[in-house]
C-alpha cells in the first residue's frame, strides 16, 4: 500500500476500533447492535482492501447483514428497560 490507500486503510481501522468501543459501552442494546453491524461493515471494507474479496463478501453478508438483523429481531421481541420499569411502578402503586 502506498500514499492515499494507506491513509484510507488506517482511517478505516480507526473507525472500526471506534465502532467496537461504541458497541461495548452502549447501554441501549439496539444501539450496540447497530454499532456492531457498522463495525462488521467496516471490517468487510478492510478485508476488501487486503485483497480478500471472498472474505469481505462473507463478512458483509453474515457479520453486517444476517447477525445484525437477527439481533434486532431478538431485541424487538423483548421489552425495553423503560417499559419494564414503568410496568413495575404501576404494579407497586396498585398494591
Grouping H, G, I as helix, E, B as strand and the rest as coil, residue 30 is helix
27-31, 60-64, 79-83, 88-92: segment of lowest average pLDDT = 88-92
55-81, pLDDT tens digit by residue? 999 999 999 999 999 999 999 998 876
Q: How far apart are CA 7 and CA 15, in angstroms?
A: 12
pLDDT above 60 (res 2):
yes
The grid coordinates of residue 48 equal 476488501
- Domain segments of the chain as ranges: 4-94
Grouping H, G, I as helix, E, B as strand and the rest as coil, residue 80 is coil
Q: How far apart are CA 66 and CA 77, in angstroms?
A: 17
Grouping H, G, I as helix, E, B as strand and the rest as coil, residue 20 is helix
Q: How far apart are CA 8 and CA 94, in angstroms?
A: 59
The grid coordinates of residue 71 equal 439481533
Locus of grid cell 491513509: 7
pLDDT of residue 92: 63
Amino acid at each position: 500500500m502506498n500514499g492515499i490507500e494507506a491513509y484510507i486503510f488506517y482511517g478505516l481501522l480507526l473507525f472500526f476500533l471506534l465502532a467496537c468501543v461504541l458497541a461495548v459501552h452502549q447501554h441501549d442494546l439496539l444501539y450496540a447492535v447497530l454499532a456492531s453491524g457498522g463495525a462488521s461493515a467496516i471490517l468487510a471494507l478492510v478485508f476488501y482492501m487486503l485483497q480478500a474479496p471472498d472474505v469481505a463478501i462473507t463478512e458483509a453478508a453474515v457479520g453486517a447483514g444476517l447477525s445484525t438483523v437477527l439481533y434486532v429481531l431478538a431485541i424487538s421481541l423483548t421489552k425495553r428497560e423503560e417499559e419494564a420499569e414503568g410496568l413495575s411502578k404501576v404494579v407497586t402503586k396498585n398494591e
